[in-house]
A and B are shown apart, each in its own frame.
Chain A
């Protein structure tokens, strides 16, 4: 599975936008880019996913570079509740049945009031 590289930690202020980067230079053509986050003492939760085009949902936006070697998760207005570890994960959703997620260390986001 292709690997991702994320900063260990980032800091933001409440109500400001946050841009969480992810590098995935070895991404293959069939790899989808998935983002999950894990709030303290909770299980992970899905945030967003994309393949080539930028994506928006109620939680966040995903901006994917044209060459797909990097992507950025955008939280438009950070709240204290967004303080979590954010994981960027590549998964080939065309390969076989097992859709296991291969996790890195993620980015720990702190949000200052």
Chain B
């Protein structure tokens, strides 16, 4: 399967711990997006990469959050000193730069902070 993959699918951690999530986009896609989704809400944009460059970060992305896409392929999202409010589904999407882009989403990583 050549879709978007995310690992891990589930993560339970204690408050104050650091966590890192990985996203592997569709191989030829040069754009990669991270979203966060809490229960009963639509996804919220967090950040966006074009190749290896992080071009936009939402105000939702506090200093405890950092994202990288070192070689323009896979991406990681790290949350430091997790808080209970970080509990959510973290979604990754990739797309090919075209005039009207379709985003392809991974299955998400569900984070629970105890």
Contact = CB atoms under 8 A, between A and B. Distances in A.
Contact of B95 (A32, A43, A99, A102): A99
Interface of B: 4, 31, 33, 35, 40-45, 48, 50, 55-56, 91, 93, 95, 97, 99-108
Interface residues of A, number: 20
B24 to A, nearest CB: 13
B99 A44 contact: no
A105 B50 CA distance: 27
Contact of B42 (A32, A45, A46, A105): A105
A17 B33 CA distance: 33
B41 A105 contact: yes
Interface string A88-113: 00000100011111111110000000
A99 B55 contact: no
Contacts of A49: 100, 102
Given A43-B91, A44-B91, A106-B42, A99 B107 contact: no
Contacts of A99: 31, 95, 101, 103
A42 B107 contact: yes
Nearest to B50: A97
Interface string A43-56: 11110010000000
B105 A100 contact: no
Interface of A: 32, 36, 42-46, 49, 87, 93, 97-106
Nearest to B6: A43
A6 B28 CA distance: 34
B42 A93 contact: no
Contacts of B40: 105
Q: Which 8 A-B pairs have the closest CB atoms?
A: A103-B42, A43-B105, A100-B45, A99-B101, A93-B100, A46-B102, A44-B105, A103-B43
Chain A CB count within 10 A is highest, among B48, B50, B105, B106, for B105
Chain B CB count within 10 A is highest, among A32, A36, A44, A103, for A44
Given A44-B93, A99-B31, A99-B101, 10 more contacts: A43-B4, A43-B105, A46-B103, A49-B100, A97-B55, A98-B55, A100-B56, A101-B103, A103-B43, A103-B44
